Structure 1
Amino acid sequence: MKRRTKKLLLNWRIILLTVFLIGSVVTLAVRPLTFGIDISGGVALVAQTEHPVDADTMQLVVDSLQKRLNTLGLRDITVEAQGDQIVLVKVANVTTAEEADAIKNVIESQGVFYMEFDGVIFGTGQDVEYVGIYQIKPDNTWSVPFRISKSAAEKFAELAKGKTGWPVDMFLDPPVNSLLVVPDSVYNLMNSSEFNAQVPEAPTLLQRITKAFNITVVAYANQTADELADMAEGREKIVLVDLNQGLQSELENMNVTVRLVQRGPGESDHALIIRTLGLYGPYSVGEGLATGQPQQDVQITGTASDRLTAEQEARQIYTVLKSGSLPVKLNVVGMEFISPRLGENFKYQALLAGIGALIAVFAIVYFHYRNWKIAIPVASTSFFEAIIILGFAALIQWNLDLPSIAGIIAAIGTGVDQQIVITDELLGGTKETRITRRSNVLKRMGRAFFVIFASAATTIVAMSFLLIYFVGTLKGFAFTTILGVVIGILVTRPAYAEIAKYLLGED
Structure 2
Amino acid sequence: MDVRNIQNLLRSTRIIIMILLILASLLLIFNIIPVNGDKGIGFGNGLDYGLDFAGGIQMQLKLEREVDKETMEIERGILVSRLNSMGLKDIPVRPWGNRYILIQISGASPHERERIENILKQPARFEQLIDGKLAVRGDEIVVDPDPRSSGIFQEQNGYGWRVGVKLMGEGAKRFGKVAYGKYFGENSPLNRPVDLFIDRPYDSIIIIDKGTYNILSNITSSSPRGGSIYYGDTAIDIIKKRANLTVVVWEGNNSEFFFKIKNLSNKYRRAIIAGDEKDIPETIRGGIEEAGFNTERIPKGNKTYEDWIKEITGLKTSPRLNFNTRGEPVYAAVITGWAPTIQDAKNEMKQNKIWLSSGNLPARATIESESEIPASLGGKFLEGSFIIGIMAIFTVAFIIYLRYRRLFIVAPVMITGLSEIIIILGLASAINWEIDLAAVAGIIAAVGTGVDDQIVITDETLRRESGKRRIISVVEQIRRAFFIIFTAAATTIAVMLPVFTIQALQGFAFTTVTGVLIGVFVTRPSYAKIIEELIEE
Q: Structure 2-normalised TM-score?
A: 0.80
Q: Are 1:299 and 2:335 an aligned pair?
A: yes
Distance change (3 Å), C-alpha of 1:86 and 1:12: same
Gaps of 5+ in 2: 36-45, 221-226
2:129 aligned to which of 104, 109, 116: 116
| Cα offset, 1:122, TM superposition | 0.9
What is the one-letter code of the residue matched to 1:434?
A: R
Q: Give matches, 1:73-152, under 5 Å.
A: 73-96=87-110, 98-125=111-138, 126-130=140-144, 132-135=149-152, 137=154, 139-149=157-167, 150-151=172-173
Q: Are 1:486 and 2:517 an aligned pair?
A: yes
What residue in structure 1 maps to residue 437 of structure 2? 402
- CA distance, structure 2, for counterparts of residue 268 and residue 250 of structure 1: 29
Distance change (3 Å), C-alpha of 1:351 and 1:133: farther
- CA distance, structure 1, for counterparts of residue 183 and residue 132 of structure 2: 15
| Cα offset, 1:68, TM superposition | 1.0
Q: Are 1:171 and 2:197 an aligned pair?
A: yes
What is the one-letter code of the residue matched to 1:456?
A: A
Q: Are 1:281 and 2:311 an aligned pair?
A: no
Distance change (3 Å), C-alpha of 1:237 and 1:309: same
- Kindly provide the CA deviation profile for residues 323-374 of structure 1, in whole angstroms up to 9, marking residues without a partner as x: 3343211111223443333333333333223322222222222222111111
What residue in structure 2 maps to residue 505 of structure 1? 536
| Cα offset, 1:399, TM superposition | 1.6
| Cα offset, 1:289, TM superposition | 5.4
- CA distance, structure 1, for counterparts of residue 380 and residue 510 of structure 2: 23
| Cα offset, 1:492, TM superposition | 1.1
Deviates further, 104-113 or 174-183? 174-183
SS at match of 1:428: strand
- CA distance, structure 2, for counterparts of residue 184 and residue 429 of structure 1: 80
Q: Structure 1-normalised TM-score?
A: 0.85
- Kindly provide the CA deviation profile for residues 370-415 of structure 1, in whole angstroms up to 9, marking residues without a partner as x: 1111111000001111111111111111122222122112211111
SS at match of 2:109: coil
What residue in structure 1 maps to residue 359 of structure 2? 324
1:433 aligned to which of 456, 461, 469: 469
What residue in structure 2 maps to residue 154 of structure 1? 176
- CA distance, structure 2, for counterparts of residue 92 and residue 182 of structure 1: 33
SS at match of 1:449: helix
- CA distance, structure 1, for counterparts of residue 366 and residue 284 of structure 2: 33
Deviates further, 64-73 or 289-298? 289-298
**How many residues were matched structurally?**
494
- CA distance, structure 2, for counterparts of residue 18 and residue 202 of structure 1: 48
- CA distance, structure 2, for counterparts of residue 136 and residue 415 of structure 1: 50
Give percent identity, aligned residues only: 30
What residue in structure 2 maps to residue 335 of structure 1? 370
- Kindly provide the CA deviation profile for residues 453-478 of structure 1, in whole angstroms up to 9, marking residues without a partner as x: 2322232222222212x123x11111
- CA distance, structure 2, for counterparts of residue 23 and residue 202 of structure 1: 40
SS at match of 1:158: coil
Aligned CA RMSD, in angstroms, stands at 3.5
SS at match of 2:89: coil
SS at match of 2:318: strand
What is the one-letter code of the residue matched to 2:337?
A: T
Q: Are 1:415 and 2:447 an aligned pair?
A: no
| Cα offset, 1:193, TM superposition | 4.4
Tell me, yes or no, if the aligned pair for 1:157 and 1:294 is still in contact at 8 Å: no
| Cα offset, 1:232, TM superposition | 3.1
- Kindly provide the CA deviation profile for residues 167-215 of structure 1, in whole angstroms up to 9, marking residues without a partner as x: 331111222323334555665566554575231379811223563xxx4
Tell me, yes or no, if the aligned pair for 1:261 and 1:276 is still in contact at 8 Å: no
| Cα offset, 1:241, TM superposition | 5.2
- CA distance, structure 2, for counterparts of residue 87 and residue 185 of structure 1: 45
Tell me, yes or no, if the aligned pair for 2:163 and 2:334 is still in contact at 8 Å: yes
Deviates further, 402-411 or 370-379? 402-411
Tell me, yes or no, if the aligned pair for 1:72 and 1:261 is still in contact at 8 Å: no
Distance change (3 Å), C-alpha of 1:202 and 1:467: closer
- CA distance, structure 2, for counterparts of residue 330 and residue 502 of structure 1: 63
Q: Give matches, 1:26-425, under 5 Å.
A: 26-28=27-29, 29-30=32-33, 31=35, 32-96=46-110, 98-125=111-138, 126-130=140-144, 132-135=149-152, 137=154, 139-149=157-167, 150-151=172-173, 154-162=176-184, 164-182=190-208, 193-194=219-220, 197-200=230-233, 204-208=237-241, 211=244, 215-219=245-249, 231-235=264-268, 237-240=270-273, 258=294, 260-261=296-297, 263=299, 266-268=302-304, 270-286=306-322, 288=323, 296-304=332-340, 309-425=344-460
- CA distance, structure 2, for counterparts of residue 350 and residue 247 of structure 1: 45
Tell me, yes or no, if the aligned pair for 1:428 and 1:434 is still in contact at 8 Å: yes
What is the one-letter code of the residue matched to 1:135?
A: I
- CA distance, structure 1, for counterparts of residue 285 and residue 210 of structure 2: 19
Tell me, yes or no, if the aligned pair for 2:289 and 2:295 is still in contact at 8 Å: no
Distance change (3 Å), C-alpha of 1:462 and 1:219: farther
1:449 aligned to which of 479, 482, 491: 482
Distance change (3 Å), C-alpha of 1:188 and 1:134: farther
Deviates further, 240-249 or 75-84? 240-249
What is the one-letter code of the residue matched to 2:238?
A: L
Deviates further, 152-161 or 366-375? 152-161
Deviates further, 223-232 or 157-166? 223-232
What residue in structure 2 maps to residue 13 of structure 1? 14
Tell me, yes or no, if the aligned pair for 1:238 and 1:258 is still in contact at 8 Å: yes
Tell me, yes or no, if the aligned pair for 1:190 and 1:206 is still in contact at 8 Å: no
What is the one-letter code of the residue matched to 2:471?
A: I
Distance change (3 Å), C-alpha of 1:113 and 1:71: same
- CA distance, structure 2, for counterparts of residue 164 and residue 328 of structure 1: 39
SS at match of 1:328: coil
What is the one-letter code of the residue matched to 2:104?
A: K
